[in-house]
Amino acid sequence: MNKAATFGRSGTPQLAFAALLVGAVCIALSPIFVRVSETGPTATAFWRVALAVPALWALYAFLGRESPGESARATPRVSRWMLLLAGIAFAGDLGFWHFSVKLTSVANSTLLANLAALFVTLATWLLFDQRPSRLFLVGLVTALAGVGMLVSTSAAFSSTALTGDAFGVLTAIFYAWYLLTVKNLRDAGAGTLHLMAVTTTLTAVILLPFALLSGEQMLPDTGIGWLKLVGIALISHAAGQGLIAFSLAKLPAAFSSVSLLLQPVMAGVFAWILLGEPLVALQIAGGIVILAGIYLSRKGTP
């Protein structure tokens, strides 16, 4: 069996779970890259995907077909609109999140973005009539209480933190949309690498005009600035999102989104170590309440 087939077909649930965790850690570094970037938040979001495009297409070309006969079903005709929707969802996710990271604390922006776990279940309820259990509703109320605790700490962080928190919630909505769309595409037969290459290209095309019209600084001033953009592109996007997209083929979307709760924990640790960003007691308590709420909601999801 060649390495392409191994990547695409032989993954067990254990391998998928490991890929999910490593992907979450890679993505947890992204708010650090955003904070230290020499370009604006929208421009950084654009470079994050634009610089990853050549690497993803080269990797796809090098590995070839992920499974025998996948050429015909890597981009199913019925799923081409879904690919576009995935690109739009990810563009919204990155755009709002990068602003959130700039405006509020790394911990708040990352925790609020991971409310996607709740929005995934709410979406399946509204779209597929999968009525949530009472335990899910308890988890939802618990998570919202944690959000209130986080928001109450924002005013002390900066005058823009409340806006950043709001952008974090919008990020969660777009990320839930992205998770559900990618899960649908993977179930339809789209290969991981081809899916990542196509959606990343679409996301870059969508973000470019917004970055140009934003008036933000588009180009970094130093070589180190370019290295930071390459880091967020190859580590946080190509590696992080690629591993998560691969894992979604083996794991339920709701489970995957909850498992990504490792991401805000690691992001908080990285922000503390690398940025010297402390966590206040109420913020820590709010984070724990949110994580508990999302855990309960997952336990209450069929």
Task: Place 1 in a pLDDT band, splitting at 50, 70 and 90.
Answer: very low
Q: Is 133 left (phi over 0), alpha (psi -120 to 50) or beta?
A: beta
Residues with Cβ within 8 Å of 44's Cβ and at least 6 positions away in sequence, in order, are 33, 34, 37, 98, 229, 232
Residue 277 pLDDT greater than 80, yes or no: yes
**Nearest CA to 277 among 97, 149, 110?**
110
Residue 131 per-residue DSSP state: P
Amino acid 254: pLDDT: 57
Residue 40 pLDDT greater than 60, yes or no: yes
Task: Place 298 in a pLDDT band, splitting at 50, 70 and 90.
Answer: low
Residue 273: how many other CB atoms lie within 10 Å: 10
> Which pLDDT tens digit goes with each residue over 238-275?
888 778 767 766 776 555 655 566 778 888 888 888 98
Residue 292 pLDDT greater than 60, yes or no: yes
Residue 11 pLDDT greater than 70, yes or no: no
Amino acid 6: pLDDT: 38
- The pTM (predicted TM-score) of the whole model is 0.79
> Which pLDDT tens digit goes with each residue over 148-180?
887 777 766 677 888 998 999 999 999 889 888
